[in-house]
């Protein structure tokens, strides 16, 4: 395995595809390093398009050594990852972040962001257990999981149309959660003052609500609420409030 440095501009987006492992570090100056077997280095392609760095591979090959790309940029606001490769983002420093995830690969986010929008499809997951975030919007289709570390926000919105899963911790004023299909949302670690929860199909929601609850269960799925909300409006046979 050898490494080479490549010239690169400081851009706020990263777009990955294929099986290459990519690390993005938010730091003071832009840099790009690529590591692979010497005969495979030319197959690891990197190109700045607009305000994003694209990383992908060309040709067919077999190797026992992982291909690795490390990109440092002063700011990151857009992440798009597809394929089977692993993407690790660290050093996030407070700005907004938009994440689009597809395929079987895993995406990891560490640091803090002001707002977070996540769209996840396929079997790959988004691990943001090391992330602090403000207002949050999560959409899940497919079997992947999205785990959020600490939320301190006015609102969180979750839409699941899948067999996937989600988990979040922290506190929000308003929680909107919709689960269709067989997916499960484990949100007992996220304290909400108000919540609007809907389950369709065989999926489930577990949540912690303090003040006002609106909950609707359609089908065989269930909603379990902890925290003794002072006001509640529930519909369906499978809504349970645990004091």
Stretch (H or E) spanning 131 = strand 126-133
105-146 per-position pLDDT tens digit:
999 999 999 999 999 999 999 999 999 999 999 999 989 999
Confidence at residue 60, expressed as pLDDT on a 0 to 100 scale: 83
Q: Does residue 220 lie within any of the structural domains?
A: yes
For residue 105, the enclosing domain spans: 89-243
Beta bridge partners of 106: none
Q: Does residue 81 lie within any of the structural domains?
A: no
Q: Does residue 83 lie within any of the structural domains?
A: no
CA-wise closest residue to 75 among 131, 21, 6, 29: 29
Confidence at residue 6, expressed as pLDDT on a 0 to 100 scale: 98
pTM over 0.75: yes
Q: How far apart are CA 111 and CA 68, in angstroms?
A: 21
Look at the chain and report how many structural domains it folds into: 2
149-160 per-position pLDDT tens digit:
999 999 999 999
Q: Does residue 56 lie within any of the structural domains?
A: yes
Q: How far apart are CA 76 and CA 98, in angstroms?
A: 9
186 and 162 within one domain:
yes
Q: Does residue 84 lie within any of the structural domains?
A: no
10: Cα within 13 Å, side-chain hemisphere: 9
- Tokens standing for residue 191: 């304290």
139 and 241 within one domain:
yes
72 and 95 within one domain:
no
CA-wise closest residue to 120 among 133, 132, 130, 108: 108
Confidence at residue 78, expressed as pLDDT on a 0 to 100 scale: 99
227 and 194 within one domain:
yes
Confidence at residue 219, expressed as pLDDT on a 0 to 100 scale: 82
Cβ atoms of 90 and 97 closer than 8 Å? no
232 and 189 within one domain:
yes
Give residue 217's pLDDT band: very low, low, confident or very high (50, 70, 90).
very high
Average pLDDT over residues 96-110: 97
104 and 56 within one domain:
no
Stretch (H or E) spanning 166 = strand 165-180
Residue 129 is part of a domain; what is its CATH number? 2.160.20.120
57-81 per-position pLDDT tens digit:
998 888 888 899 999 999 999 999 9
Cβ atoms of 164 and 139 closer than 8 Å? no
Q: What percent of the chain has pLDDT over 90?
A: 92
154 and 229 within one domain:
yes
Confidence at residue 66, expressed as pLDDT on a 0 to 100 scale: 86
110 and 204 within one domain:
yes
208 and 114 within one domain:
yes
61 and 154 within one domain:
no
4-42 per-position pLDDT tens digit:
999 999 999 999 998 999 999 999 999 999 999 999 999
């Amino acid at each position: 395995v050898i490494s080479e440095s490549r010239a690169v501009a400081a851009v706020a987006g990263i777009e990955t595809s294929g099986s290459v492992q990519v690390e993005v570090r938010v730091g003071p100056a832009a840099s790009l390093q690529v590591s692979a077997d010497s005969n495979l280095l030319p197959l690891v392609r990197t190109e700045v398009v607009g305000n994003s760095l694209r990383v992908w591979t060309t040709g067919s090959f077999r190797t026992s050594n992982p291909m690795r790309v490390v990109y440092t940029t002063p700011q990151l606001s857009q992440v798009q990852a597809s394929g089977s490769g692993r993407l690790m983002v660290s050093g996030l420093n407070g700005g907004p972040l938009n994440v689009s995830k597809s395929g079987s690969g895993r995406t990891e986010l560490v640091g803090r962001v002001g707002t977070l929008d996540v769209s996840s499809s396929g079997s790959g997951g988004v691990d943001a257990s090391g992330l602090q975030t403000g207002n949050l919007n999560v959409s899940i289709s497919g079997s992947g999981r999205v785990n959020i570390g600490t939320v301190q926000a006015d609102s969180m919105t979750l839409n699941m149309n899948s067999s996937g899963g989600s988990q979040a911790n922290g506190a929000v004023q308003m929680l909107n959660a919709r689960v269709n299909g067989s997916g499960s949302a484990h949100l007992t670690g996220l304290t909400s003052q108000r919540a609007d929860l809907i389950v369709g199909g065989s999926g489930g929601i577990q949540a912690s609500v303090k003040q006002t609850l609106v909950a609707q269960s359609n089908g065989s799925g269930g909603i379990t609420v902890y925290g003794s909300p002072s006001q509640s409006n529930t519909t369906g046979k499978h809504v349970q409030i645990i004091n």
